[in-house]
Structure 1
Amino acid sequence: MTIILKSASQLEKMRVAGKLASEVLDILTPLVKPGITTEELNQAAHTYMTEVQGTIPATLDYRGFPKSICTSINHVVCHGIPGNKKLKKGDIINIDVTVIKDGYHGDTSRMFEVGEIKPFAARLCKVAYECLWKGIAQVKPQATLFEVAAAIEQHAHAHHCSVVHEYCGHGIGQSFHEEPQVLHYAADELKEIILKPGMTFTIEPMINLGKLDVKLLGDNWTVVTKDRSLSAQWEHTLAVTKTGYEVFTLRPGETPLY
């Protein structure tokens, strides 16, 4: 496994890319309302990335993915493809954005509530967000990815939720996906991955209200829960620093939970 440690100048480029990725989600926030289609959200994001930011939508044509963002509604775990489906009151939706700026990637996602949602859906979104920050809080030099994953899994299980195993976070930089794989459950192999300053990766736990089992739909992208239970996910891109971590994709006013 070759983990690429980033230099100060590379980290600065990732800092910029991360801020821009978060900015795309900011401009989409007021648009997430009942009646809008996920394709309209995709078009708004694409226009903003290409015409305002001068960034490249990393997902567009990546391994054949046809759109500039991922939109995953309710029981869709990840990689939902924008289309003609209209959002309705009570939906929850994850919007996942990755931009490329000056050759470096910024990758982030958030949960959005469409109108008033059910209390159990709100609780899931909250638990998933807490899981993200429980994992981030473990990041520091000489810690391992096992500690990150264990913190996430323990918090999910304590709230009677499950953690998806098949999809995970990843190293990131000039490539969209680099080593290491950042699993969100306590797999023994993670004990071998020791964190060092200059490592950059995403943490993006997918948390299900029901069982952890998922399936891939016929489009070869959309992943759903087998039991059709709700799923929620939040994602940040971060770096390991000399004393802890730096999150590149924080939204304005967002501060660490732990």
Structure 2
Amino acid sequence: MAIILKSKKEIDRMRRAGLVLRDLFDLLVPKIKPGVTTGELDAFIESYIRNQNCKPSFKNLYGFPASACISINEEVVHGIPSSRQLREGDLVKIDVGALYEGFHADASRTFWVGHASAAAKRLVSVTAKALDAGISKAVPGNRVGDISSAIQTVVESEGFSVVRDYVGHGVGRSLHEDPQVPNFGFPGQGPILRVGMTLAIEPMVNEGTHEVILAEDKWTVKTKDGKLSAQIEDTVAITEDGPFILTR
């Protein structure tokens, strides 16, 4: 599949979807508390997205049964919402997409429930720092590997590891487009970044090993060693003026 460049009008549509996600995450903060179920969060997410004249990108994608991936603690990505209740200290990753007038935006945030441990907060902080480092390299003339290397450098310098089995990606008319955007790699490698490219950049950072396993539900991805994982994602457009974060 070729890399698809977006027009300004198309990027404006993605920005509209991105703002819906930005506002959604703000609204979720007070709802993420002990006792609430991941299914209740998913129902709120779907209702909010639809009320903003958008559609939830994940619903029924590849057969996924919900509007958001909600993954807890050692779960890395693709957790299925259910009757599971959040508990004090949980680390909760919410990954969600919105489709507006034929164009997707994709983003995720990591929250903690109540009082998190210092180690959990540090993991989230480093993940955010790594994402920002990757985004800073999303400029015309650079290569995808420059983004990947910047993320990996931040993560590993702090003693954490980046997941290698799952990566970021292009996004636009389809939720998943070329190119792949790994969170590890070497500068100067991969496709050249050009004005009009739109990327979902999403560090998945593990407290321990980078190795992951697939749960029995065939969706939820977990750390192999059972240690914590964090994920933060933004959709970013490559512009002449540098990276334009569509989901902030």
Shared fold, TM over 0.5: yes
Structure 2 equivalent of residue 15 of structure 1: 15
Structure 2 equivalent of residue 28 of structure 1: 28
Over residues 22-48 of structure 1, what are the superposed CA-to-partner deviations in whole Å (9 max), with x where a residue is unaligned? 222222111000110000100111111
Structure 2 equivalent of residue 108 of structure 1: 107
Over residues 113-149 of structure 1, what are the superposed CA-to-partner deviations in whole Å (9 max), with x where a residue is unaligned? 1000111011101011111101001111100111111
Q: State the SS of the aligned residue for 1:93.
A: strand
**Structure 1 residue ranges without an equivalent (≥5):** 251-258
> How do 1:7-156 and structure 2 match up within 5 A?
7-50=7-50, 52-156=51-155
For residues 247 and 25 of structure 2, the distance between their equivalents in structure 1, rounded to whole angstroms, comes to: 10
Over residues 156-204 of structure 1, what are the superposed CA-to-partner deviations in whole Å (9 max), with x where a residue is unaligned? 111000000011111000111000000110158x713110000001100
Letter of the structure 2 residue corresponding to residue 194 of structure 1: I
For residues 91 and 66 of structure 2, the distance between their equivalents in structure 1, rounded to whole angstroms, comes to: 20
Letter of the structure 2 residue corresponding to residue 206 of structure 1: M
Structure 2 equivalent of residue 2 of structure 1: 2
For residues 163 and 17 of structure 1, the distance between their equivalents in structure 2, rounded to whole angstroms, comes to: 28
Contact kept, 8 Å, 2:146 with 2:186, in 1: the verdict is no
Letter of the structure 1 residue corresponding to residue 160 of structure 2: C
Contact kept, 8 Å, 1:24 with 1:97, in 2: the verdict is no
Deviates more, 1:26-35 or 1:155-164: 26-35
TM-score, L = length of structure 1: 0.94
TM-score, L = length of structure 2: 0.97
For residues 118 and 142 of structure 1, the distance between their equivalents in structure 2, rounded to whole angstroms, comes to: 41
Over residues 235-258 of structure 1, what are the superposed CA-to-partner deviations in whole Å (9 max), with x where a residue is unaligned? 0001000131100000xxxxxxxx
For residues 101 and 24 of structure 2, the distance between their equivalents in structure 1, rounded to whole angstroms, comes to: 17
Tell me the number of residue pairs that the alignment of Structure 1 and Structure 2 aligns: 248
For residues 192 and 88 of structure 1, the distance between their equivalents in structure 2, rounded to whole angstroms, comes to: 42
Contact kept, 8 Å, 1:200 with 1:239, in 2: the verdict is yes
Structure 2 equivalent of residue 240 of structure 1: 238
1:15 deviation in Å? 1.0
**Structure 2 residue ranges without an equivalent (≥5):** none
Structure 1 equivalent of residue 170 of structure 2: 171
For residues 52 and 16 of structure 2, the distance between their equivalents in structure 1, rounded to whole angstroms, comes to: 11
Q: What is the percentage of aligned positions where both structures have the same residue?
A: 42
Contact kept, 8 Å, 1:164 with 1:207, in 2: the verdict is yes
